[in-house]
Amino acid sequence: MSEPRTPISTAEALAALAAMDPDRPAVTHGDRTVIRSELEARTNQLARAYIELGVTPDSSVTIGLRNGIEFVEATIAVWKARATPQPVSARLPTIERGAIIELADPSLVVESTRSGHMAGRRSQRDSNPVRRSRMPLFNRSSSRP
C-alpha cells in the first residue's frame, strides 16, 4: 500500500507542472497561448504585487476582468497570495459592481480600465470603497506591465 499523499494547493500544483515541463502550453485564449513557465513567472509577479497592495492570507480579492488569460493569471496570483478570488462579471453596470464590491469588502479589486487593468486597494479612511493604486497590472496591447 502506498503512502497517503500530502494535499497541495492549486498554486503549488501549477508550480510543479511548470517545473516538470516549462515549455508546455498552459493557457490558450483566442490566438494567444501562454506556456507554463511564463504563467508561473507572471503569477508570481502579480502575487507579490497583490501582497504589497495589502492582500493577506484568507482575505478576498475581487476580480472584475473579462474571461481570458489575464483573468486566469489574476486568479492564480490570488491563490498564490493565499487569498480567495471573488470573480465579478466585468460586464456588470458600474452601480451593481460597486454594490457587490462594497458587500464583499475585499482587500483588493482587480478590474479593467480604459488604459488596461489596474488594482485598487480598499482604504478605511476613504468614503469611496476602492482607492486606485498607480500600479498597472496589465496593459491592453501586450497583457504585460
* pLDDT tens, residue by residue, 8-43: 888 899 999 999 999 999 999 999 999 999 999 999
Domain 10-139 in this protein, CATH class = alpha beta
Task: Give the per-residue pLDDT at 76.
Answer: 96
Pairing of strands 60-64, 32-35: unpaired
Residue 29's alpha-carbon distances to 35, 58, 72, in angstroms, are: 12, 29, 10
Q: In the Cβ-directed half-sphere of 41, how many Cα atoms lie within 13 Å? A: 9
| 133 confidence band (pLDDT: 50, 70, 90) | very low
**What would the pLDDT profile of 52-74 be if each residue is shown by its tens digit?**
999 999 999 999 999 999 999 99
β 84-87/32-35 pair status: unpaired
The mean pLDDT of 38-51, rounded to a whole number, is 95
- What residues pair up with 86 in beta bridges, in sequence order? 62
CA–CA separation, 114 and 112 (whole Å): 7
Q: What is the value of pTM for the model shown?
A: 0.79
